[in-house]
Amino acid sequence: MHAVRDVDAAAEFYLRAGFIVSGRNRHPWGTHNRIVQLKNCYIEILEVAEPDKIVPHGPRFFSFGAFSQEFLARHEGFSMLLLNSRDAKADARAFEASGIGAFDVFEFAREGKRPDGSTVKLAFSLAFAAVPNSPDLRFAACQHHYPENFWNPAFQAHANGAQRVPGIVLIANHPARHWDFLKAYTGDEADSLVGGIVALTKNGEIEVLEPSALRDRFGVSVTAEGEGITLSAMRFTVADLAETEALHRRNGVAVRRHGERLIVPPDVAFGATLIFEAAKP
């Protein structure tokens, strides 16, 4: 989830960066979003558009809207990571047993539109999790009840050649201290790497790096505060890196080269870092 103060301005940036962006969707609790869909995941660009509708957190209730409002009071950027779930209720029980979440499953539904304008039903169940001392990041497992109505190849044919997201990058001053959380959240074993740890999920890598390791690998300088963890960057594979770079420059996106990668830094990408890499043969 990419939390921003102006969802249409952020969508315009994603369009210039060569992505297809959906129209505006409205939630009854006051947030609006627009979606960028890849083959294996999607980005939810989210704005608190109707603050009078935001409901507060409660016992065993995580308020999606209240968290987003609190986050945006401090800054913009990636605010939440959601993994795919086959059974959100089972995931919620597992999160609670592991000590990383004590929230009831949150369920909601809305209408969506296909490229031809026809209306379809969408419904989701979310099991939430949290890391102590990390006010700027929440986690969830999301069960799609009508995935056939959501995923559509027509929304995935991006002009920048983006195909998949092979991984995301979180930062922390002490990555190894988040080993147990990462294992409990993903259900996969975490491994050590230079400057951090990584969980290899079926859908991509979740890396937790020290800020210095992020700078060395991707040329991005950000800071981590205290013992917490934040979501810094998303990686994209593209068909042709040179063509992607040319498109960005034509469209006025301030992208820069770092080795064999293209980097769009957080001061350009509404608090987030976008990393483009050539797809492996």
> Where are the CATH 3.10.180.10 domain residues in the chain?
2-155, 162-278
pLDDT digits (tens, 9 = 90+) for 2-46: 999 999 999 999 999 999 999 998 999 999 999 999 999 999 999
**Tell me, what's the pLDDT at 149?**
86
pLDDT digits (tens, 9 = 90+) for 209-219: 999 999 999 99
- CATH classification for the domain delimited by 162-278, as one of 1.10.3720.10, 3.40.50.300, 3.40.630.40, 3.10.180.10: 3.10.180.10
Model confidence, pTM: 0.94
Provide the sign of the torsion angle of the four alpha carbons 150, 137, 274, 76, taken in this order: positive
What is the band of 50 on the pLDDT scale with cuts at 50, 70, 90?
Answer: very high
pLDDT digits (tens, 9 = 90+) for 59-73: 999 998 999 999 999
Burial per residue of 83-102, b for 16 or more beta-carbon CB atoms within 10 angstroms, e otherwise:
bebeebeebbebbbeeebbe
**Tell me, what's the pLDDT at 110?**
77
**Tell me, what's the pLDDT at 182?**
95
Nearest to 27 by CA among 63, 75, 58: 63
Tokens 């609670």 -> residue: 96
Task: Give residues with Cβ within 8 angstroms of 160, minimum separation 6.
Answer: 17, 18, 19, 238, 244, 247, 248, 276
The CATH T-level fold of domain 2-155 is 2,3-Dihydroxybiphenyl 1,2-Dioxygenase; domain 1 (3.10.180)
